[in-house]
Amino acid sequence: MSSNNIGSRTITFDERAFLVDGQRKLLVSGEIHYARSPRELWPVLLDNAKELGLNCIASYVFWNWHEPERDVYDFSGVRDLGHFLSLCAERDLDVILRAGPYCCAEWNYGGYPPYLRDEPGIVIRTWNEPYMSRVEKYFSHLVTEFRPYLASNGGPIILVQVENEYANVAKRYGDDGQRYIAWMGDLAKKLGVDVPVIMCEGGAEGAIETVNGFSISQERMQQFRKAHPGMPAIWTELWPSWYDTWGFQRHYRDPRNIASHILSFISNGGSGFNYYMFHGGTNFGRTSMYLQTTSYEFDALLDEYGAPTLKGRYLARLHNLLINNSATILDGECEVRNDAKGVSTATWRHAGRSIIISCSKSPFHAVVKDEKGSVLFDTEKIYSAVHASHRPPKWKELPAPLDWQAWAEPRPSERTDDAISSPVPLEQLSLTHDKSDYCWYSAEIKLEKNGDHVLELSHCADVMSIFIDGKPVGFSQPPFLENRGPTSTTPAIKTENNKVNALESAVGHYKQSFTFASSKGKKRLDILASSTGMVKGDWMLGASMNTECKGIWGKAICDKRPIKSWEMRPFLAGEKLNLPAFTKSVSWHNANKIRSQSCVWYRSTFIIPKRVLKSDFRLDAEGLGKGMLFINGHALGRHWLVEGKGYGADEPWQNRELEGLSLGPVGEATQRYYHVPRAWLQEVNELMIFEERECNPGKVCLETRKA
Ligand code: GAL
C-alpha cells in the first residue's frame, strides 16, 4: 500500500445508504476498466474523475486478463491491479471492485479465460465441480492481491461485487444456479472480503442487491424496496449511452436526460450511482467480445483518450451539487409528492436546510432548489451554459509515411508447417484455443461446369474469406446478429433476457453461402476463418457459454456435394513468426507491387515531431478493409471499415425516446478512427497492419490533437 493508507474504515449500510465509519455516503461513482487503457493513462483518467466531481471508481477485474494461461497469474505492468487501486487511494477515491469471476462487459468471453471451454466436464456459471474448482483457485489468488486495499485494511475498496447480473441466466440453471451464486458470495467472505459484498441484478437470496439500467423508475424503486427491505438503493450501472458493434450504427445519449434520471432516482431514495462507463477506453489486441468494436468509447463522460466530454463537464455540475447537499439528502426527512401533471417533487429538510427536486417526465426536465427558492440546478439551463463554453477537440493530420512495405501472408499451399487433416472441418477454438482470430480451412473440390458455383457452410463463424486456386472470390456479408443462437442443433432453453436485447432464438444463425464464378475442373478451395471475439454471455448463444464455436464445424457443401477431406492450419504464418515484434524475420517488398492482393502484412515508419509527442493520437484507417493493427509491437486491436447499417427490428432497446438515446447516421463506417496511445509512441514509429482484403494503405494516416 502507498503512504495514503488512511487507517481502517468500517463499511456498513442501512436502507438509506452505505455508511463509512458510521456516516452515510452518497456514492457518485464512475466505471473505468484499467484493462482498457495503458497504465500510463490511469493517473490522467483518475485526475479527470476527480475533476468531474466523482468520489468513487468502479472497475471489473477480468479473469482472463490476470490468468492468461491456465495457472499462470499476472498482476504486473498493465495488469497491476494494486497500482490502479493505489492511484485511486492517492486521490481519495473510493472503489467498488467488481471482482467477477464472470463480468460480461463486452470483453472477450465475458472475462472468462478461454481455457475453461476445454476443461473436461465443465459447465460454466453454475454448480459444477470442474468450474467451481477453477473459480476457487483463481479467486483465492485474486483476493490475496486486493485484500490489502480493502477499506478494513485502510484501502480504498468499500464494496466488492461478485458475479454479474445473474438474473439473465438464472432460469437456465435453476436451483443449481442459485446454489452456485450463494456459494460465490460465501467464497468471497471465506477468503477474507470483509467489506459488504454486493451482487447486481439477481444476487443470491439475502445478498446486497443493486440495480442496473438506463433509468430506474419510481415503480422499480418500489419493487426493489419490497424485495430487498433494509437495503440501500444503489444503481451500479447507469448507462450514459451504449456500446457499438461492427456493422451497425453508433450510439449516443442526451446528457440532459441522464441528469433528469439521476435526480429522479435520488428523489426516489437512491443513494449511489455508477456510470457504466465513465471512461470506456479501448479494446486493444483481441480483448473485445464477438462483434464489439475496438473502441469502447460508450459516449461516456471521458472520451476514449481520457479527456472530459461535454457530457462530462455538464454532469460534473450535478455531481458537485449532489455532494455538497448529500448530508441533507441522506440524513434529512424526505417527502415526495406526485401532482396530476406527472411532476414529482421531493423535499428534504435537515438542520435548517432544505433541498427540493422537481422532475417532470414529458419532456424530461428537472430543477433543484434550496429553502429560499433559489435554483441550484436546472437540467436545461445548465446544459445550455456548458454547451456554449465547450470546445470540441480538433484533430490534425500528421505527414503521411512514404515507405509502405508489404509481405504477403503465405497461402495454405505455400505453408511449410504441418496441417491437421480430417474428413470434416474441425472447429477453430479446439485448434487455436483462442490464441488467434485465424484458421485456414483447405480442401480440393471438383467443379463440374463453367460459370457460377455455390458453397454452403451450415455452421461457421464469424467472417469467412473464400479463395479458389489462391484468388479471392467472396467473403461473409455483415451485419451479423449479436445474439445469434445455439451453435449446435440442441434446442435453446428460453431464458430471461438482459433488458436491452430481446432476441433469443432456438435456431442458430451460422449458415453462410457464397456464390462464385469459376471454370470447371479440380480446384483448390481455401477459406480463411476469422473470429471477431468470443461471446460475452449465454444469451448470445441461447445455451451455455462452453458451447461457443468459431471457424467451420458443420457441413460444407459445394454445388450440392459434400466436401469430404479437409486440412486445417490454425494461426497466420505472420502470427507464428510474431511479425509485429520480429519485423525482420521476413523480406519485405515495396507495397505498390503487392497492393492488389488480399491477406497481406504492411509496415511503414511514422515520424512524430518531439513537440507533439505529448498529444493524443488516433489512426484514420480509411482505405483499409478488415484485419489487425499494431504500433511498435503493441496490438492496437482489430480494424474493420464495415459500414453501419440500420438496426431495423433488432434495435436493442425499447424506450429509446424516454431514455434520450439516438443512433448515428447509417452508411458510415462503424469505426474509422483507432486509438493509438501516446505511451506506445516515440519519434520514429513502426506501424504494422495485417489486412484481409485488397486495400490501399497509402490512405492511412496518424492524427493528433492537444491532450
Ligand atoms: C450490463 C452488463 C455490463 C455491460 C452492460 C452493457 O448488462 O452488466 O457488463 O455488458 O450491460 O454495456
Q: Mind giving me the DSSP string for 74-111? A: --SGGG-HHHHHHHHHHTT-EEEEE--S---TTBGGGG
347-351 average pLDDT score: 96
166-194 average pLDDT score: 97
Decide if pLDDT at 475 tops 60.
yes
For 411-571, which CATH superfamily applies? Galactose-binding domain-like (2.60.120.260)
| Cβ contacts of 543 within 8 Å, gap of 6 or more | 486, 487, 488, 490, 492, 493
In angstroms, the CA 432 to CA 72 distance is 18
Ligand 1 within 6 A of 498 CB? Answer: yes
Q: Distance, CA 106 to ligand 1 centroid (Å)?
A: 7
Q: Which range (301-315, 352-366, 551-565) has the least confidence?
A: 352-366
In the chain, % of residues over pLDDT 90 = 89
The answer to whether 651 is a known catalytic residue is no
In angstroms, the CA 304 to CA 531 distance is 24
Q: Over the stretch 413-469, which tens digit does the pLDDT of each residue have?
A: 999 999 999 999 999 999 999 999 999 999 999 999 999 999 999 999 999 999 999
Q: What share of the chain is helix, strand, coil (3-state, %, to 5)?
A: 25, 30, 45
Q: Give the position of cell 462483434.
A: 291
512-528 average pLDDT score: 98
Nearest ligand 1 atom to the CA of 243 is 12
Decide if pLDDT at 502 tops 60.
no
Listed in order, the ranges of the chain carrying CATH 2.60.120.260 are 411-571
Q: Distance, CA 103 to ligand 1 centroid (Å)?
A: 8
Q: Give the position of cell 435548517.
A: 352
What's the pLDDT at 655? 75
Higher pLDDT among residues 173 and 651, named by residue: 173
From residue 633, give the alpha-carbon distance in Å to each of 42, 299, 636: 21, 29, 9
Decide if pLDDT at 491 tops 60.
no
Buried b (16+ CB within 10 A) or exposed e, 395-421: eeebeebeebbbbbbbbbeebeeeeee
CATH of domain 395-406+577-705: 2.60.120
In angstroms, the CA 312 to CA 325 distance is 20
Confidence of residue 646 (pLDDT cuts 50, 70, 90): confident
544-561 average pLDDT score: 96
The answer to whether 575 is a known catalytic residue is no
Q: Give the position of cell 439551463.
A: 381
Mutate to test the pocket of ligand 1, among 62, 104, 241, 274 (most ligand atoms within 8 A of CB): 104
Ligand 1 within 6 A of 604 CB? Answer: no
Q: Distance, CA 104 to ligand 1 centroid (Å)?
A: 6
Higher pLDDT among residues 43 and 649, named by residue: 43
Q: Angle formed by the axes of helices 42-51 and 81-90, to 10°? A: 30
φ, ψ at 348 (rounded to 5°): -110, 140
Ligand 1 within 6 A of 482 CB? Answer: no
Mutate to test the pocket of ligand 1, among 33, 274, 276, 296 (most ligand atoms within 8 A of CB): 276
Selecting among 237, 456, 575, 692, the annotated active-site residue is 237
Distance of CA 419 to the CA centre of its chain: 34
Higher pLDDT among residues 450 and 492, named by residue: 450
Decide if pLDDT at 2 tops 80.
no
Q: Distance, CA 436 to ligand 1 centroid (Å)?
A: 25
Ligand 1 within 6 A of 244 CB? Answer: no
Nearest Cα residue to atom 9 of ligand 1? 105
What's the pLDDT at 656? 80
Nearest Cα residue to atom 10 of ligand 1? 105
Q: Is the Cα dihedral 477, 482, 483, 487 positive or negative?
A: positive
Confidence of residue 647 (pLDDT cuts 50, 70, 90): confident
Nearest to 463 by CA among 600, 625, 579, 620: 625
Nearest to 630 by CA among 704, 690, 703: 690
Confidence of residue 492 (pLDDT cuts 50, 70, 90): very low
In angstroms, the CA 358 to CA 39 distance is 42
Q: Distance, CA 140 to ligand 1 centroid (Å)?
A: 25
Selecting among 31, 67, 163, 165, the annotated active-site residue is 165
Confidence of residue 508 (pLDDT cuts 50, 70, 90): confident
Higher pLDDT among residues 384 and 495, named by residue: 384
Q: Distance, CA 375 to ligand 1 centroid (Å)?
A: 35
DSSP 69: B
Q: Which CATH architecture has domain 26-303?
A: Alpha-Beta Barrel (3.20)
Name the 3-class secondary structure at 153: helix
Nearest Cα residue to atom 3 of ligand 1? 105
Q: Mind giving me the DSSP string for 474-512? A: EE--SPPPSS---SSSSPPPP-PPPTT-----SS----E
> What is the SS3 assignment for 258-269?
HHHHHHHHHHCC
Cell reading at 283: 479494446
Cell reading at 679: 505511451
Listed in order, the ranges of the chain carrying CATH 3.20.20.80 are 26-303
In the chain, % of residues over pLDDT 70 = 95
- The residue ranges of DSSP E strands in 75-225, in sequence order, are 94-98, 157-161, 197-200, 208-213
151-166 average pLDDT score: 98
